[in-house]
Amino acid sequence: MKSSTNREIHLNALSIGLATGAYALSFGAISIASGLDFWQTQTLSLFMFTGASQFALVGVLGAGGGALVAVVTALLLGARNSLYSLSLSPVLQLRKGHIPVAAQLTIDESTGMAFKYSDSRTSSRRAFFATGISVYVLWNIGTALGSLGASQLSDPGMLGLDAAIPAGFLALLWPRLVNSSSTENRRMIAVAVISGLVAFLLIPMLRPGLPVLASALVAVGASLMWGKKEQPCG
């Protein structure tokens, strides 16, 4: 039974890694089209290693936004990984020496797999590390292939890859909307629509990247408002 579970974990981890690796091809090409070179692009995947933040960073830079705005936007999107680590700590119960590696591998996919097999600490750890390593290796390979391919073009912008950035964000957002409960679904859709409208209205008035930061305040305000409503009285 244990061997079949391990086999299932490894197959799932590999399939997730292959899927995200394919997605990394577009990131590598988009990064080059946004003005970064091969080594800058590869450094992002090696050390930042969080897809949404990486797309946000190159998206802001490619649109002409400043480096500070791009970094802050990426940090805001990557902050959820810190929350993942808090919830994973009692599940994995790792030794101190393993924590730095686990921190680098804490992403949506590895977290989801760890909780899927949380009935066994051994299986949960195996699922977390197998998925994290699979995604990390294949994400970096995909980034390298995508950026090398785009580097061979005289004008990478001719591919129209800038349109892939919002498409990528929609691909990340949609599963969170459809997999939520009905109440959460309505709330998340409302926040997404209002945030998008705020960003759209501010685009003519602010530098690239700032409308996204401003729209994030909508989500913060909604979270605070709903949190107060759901607190028990007395």
Domain count, the chain: 1
Amino acid at 20: T
Using the structure block, give the residue that is written with the tokens 């990131």.
27
In a domain? residue 223: no
- Burial label for 61, CB within 10 Å (0-12, 13-18, 19+), is buried
Task: Tell how far CA 91 is from the center of its chain.
Answer: 22
Q: How many Cα atoms are found within 13 Å in the side-chain-facing hemisphere of 215? A: 22
In a domain? residue 56: yes
CA angle 12, 138, 118 (to 5 degrees): 35
In a domain? residue 183: no
- Identify whether the C-beta of residue 88 lies closer than 8 Å to the C-beta of residue 106: yes
Q: What is the pLDDT of residue 140?
A: 96
- Identify whether the C-beta of residue 139 lies closer than 8 Å to the C-beta of residue 21: yes
In a domain? residue 145: yes
Domain of 29, in residue numbers: 2-155
In a domain? residue 209: no
pLDDT digit string (tens) for the chain, length 234 residues: 478 889 999 999 999 888 888 888 888 988 888 889 999 999 999 999 988 788 888 888 877 777 787 888 788 777 778 888 888 888 898 888 899 999 999 988 898 889 888 888 899 999 999 999 999 999 999 999 999 988 776 555 555 555 555 555 555 455 555 555 566 567 777 777 787 788 778 777 766 666 766 776 777 677 667 655 555 544
